[in-house]
């Protein structure tokens, strides 16, 4: 049996909107062939819009709710900004985030099974584009305060959960995260493999400097420390006051970051390029 990678399962799920286990099983049955897997899913799970489901959905909207101290957020994708501005698509995004809020213990696959998938398929048929409920996020249950920020274009959204602090501080930091896109909460949370990869890059950049090895090593160390400060939330300069670090803001408000989530519509999705003639032929055939 062909080894099915998590990335391949994720790609198929983004193309179809179906559950991870369903997608993995279909890929195993097709020996990793996505097109064959989609055909199998049509047979076994009622996937109706197959001619749309193999097209990349990299546009869309972020939907979010903040109420009673709890925050939740969804990313729903479509193919074009035209559909993202459609009233029925926007209503589906609202309905999806309402379902996430109303079912705090349900994961995305469960929500899809319990009615969202059927509504998604009907919307695909109505609007003529692939539509995917890509991911959901919620604030942590034990958080004392949670912050939400959604950019005005609804393409970027962030959630932060704090121990201590207050709603205002949480919202400020959520807005900061939207602007700076940190990799982790603190330098200690940056994966070792990421640091090693950066070291290799900095080493290659410094090899032709002509400086002694011990100096080169200090240069690399300095660059790594600067990199960690730039990508770690607590070490970044606060966007509202760059002279103050986020760690300073947290200390002033007696707060600790428990977690954060940042969604940007379409990030990481490879957009398939289709030439005009191919697109016309696809429409004729479909």
CATH number of the domain that residue 14 is part of? 1.10.8.10
Task: Report in angstroms the alpha-carbon separations of 186 from 12, 28, 49, 258.
Answer: 33, 39, 43, 11
**Number of residues assigned to the chain:** 286
Chain segment 96-154, per-residue pLDDT in tens: 999 999 999 999 999 999 999 999 989 988 898 889 999 999 999 999 999 999 999 99
CB-based burial of residue 36 (10 Å sphere; 0-12 exposed, 13-18 middle, 19+ buried)?
Answer: middle
DSSP state of 184: B
Q: Are residues 62 and 126 in the same domain?
A: yes
Q: How confident is the model at residue 211 (pLDDT cuts 50, 70, 90)?
A: confident
Q: Are residues 16 and 64 in the same domain?
A: no
Q: Are residues 18 and 69 in the same domain?
A: no
Q: Are residues 29 and 82 in the same domain?
A: no
Q: Are residues 42 and 72 in the same domain?
A: no
Give domain status of residue 162, yes or no.
no
Domain residue limits at 16: 6-54
Q: Are residues 81 and 121 in the same domain?
A: yes
Q: How confident is the model at residue 93 (pLDDT cuts 50, 70, 90)?
A: very high
Q: Are residues 49 and 65 in the same domain?
A: no
Per-residue pLDDT, averaged over 5-9, amounts to 86
Q: Are residues 102 and 84 in the same domain?
A: yes
Q: How confident is the model at residue 206 (pLDDT cuts 50, 70, 90)?
A: confident
Q: Are residues 96 and 83 in the same domain?
A: yes
Given 138, 160, 183, which residue is the final one in a domain? 138
pTM for the whole structure: 0.77
- How many domains in the chain? 2
**Residue 98 CA, distance from chain mean position:** 19
Chain segment 20-56, per-residue pLDDT in tens: 777 888 888 889 888 888 877 766 655 544 445 556 7
Give domain status of residue 77, yes or no.
yes
CATH assignment of the domain containing 73: 3.30.479.20
Give me the pLDDT at residue 49, please. 45
In the predicted structure, residue 163 carries a pLDDT above the cut 70: yes
Q: Are residues 66 and 127 in the same domain?
A: yes
Phi-psi region of 152 (alpha: psi -120 to 50; beta: other; left: phi over 0): alpha
Q: Are residues 79 and 124 in the same domain?
A: yes
Give me the pLDDT at residue 55, please. 65
Give domain status of residue 96, yes or no.
yes
- Which tokens is 152 given? 């005005």
Give domain status of residue 259, yes or no.
no
Q: Are residues 129 and 69 in the same domain?
A: yes
Decide if 134 contacts 14 (C-beta within 8 A). Answer: yes
């Amino acid at each position: 049996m062909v080894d099915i990678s998590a990335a391949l399962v994720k790609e198929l799920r983004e193309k179809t909107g179906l559950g991870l286990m369903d997608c993995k099983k279909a890929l195993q049955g097709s020996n990793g062939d996505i097109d064959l897997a989609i055909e199998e899913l049509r047979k076994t799970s009622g996937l109706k819009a197959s001619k749309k489901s193999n097209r990349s959905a990299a546009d869309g909207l972020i939907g979010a709710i903040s109420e009673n101290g709890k925050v939740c957020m969804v990313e729903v994708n479509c193919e074009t900004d035209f559909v993202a501005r459609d009233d029925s698509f926007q209503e589906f995004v609202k309905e999806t985030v309402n379902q996430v809020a109303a079912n705090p213990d349900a994961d995305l696959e469960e929500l899809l099974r319990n009615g969202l998938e059927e509504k998604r398929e009907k919307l695909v048929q109505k609007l003529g584009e692939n539509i995917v409920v890509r991911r959901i996020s919620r604030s942590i249950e034990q958080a004392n305060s949670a912050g939400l920020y959604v950019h005005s274009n609804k393409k970027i959204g962030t959630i932060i959960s704090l121990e201590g602090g207050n709603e205002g501080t949480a919202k400020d930091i959520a807005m900061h995260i939207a602007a700076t896109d940190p990799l982790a909460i603190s330098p200690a949370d940056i994966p070792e493999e990421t640091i090693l990869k950066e070291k290799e890059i900095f080493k290659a950049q410094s090899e032709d400097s002509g400086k002694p090895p011990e100096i080169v090593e200090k240069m690399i160390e300095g660059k790594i420390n600067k990199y960690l400060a730039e990508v770690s939330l607590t070490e970044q300069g606060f966007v509202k006051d760059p002279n103050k670090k986020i760690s300073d803001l947290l200390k002033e408000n007696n707060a600790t970051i428990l977690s954060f989530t940042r969604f940007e519509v379409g990030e990481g999705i490879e957009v398939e390029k289709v030439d005009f003639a191919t697109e016309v032929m696809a429409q004729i055939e479909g």
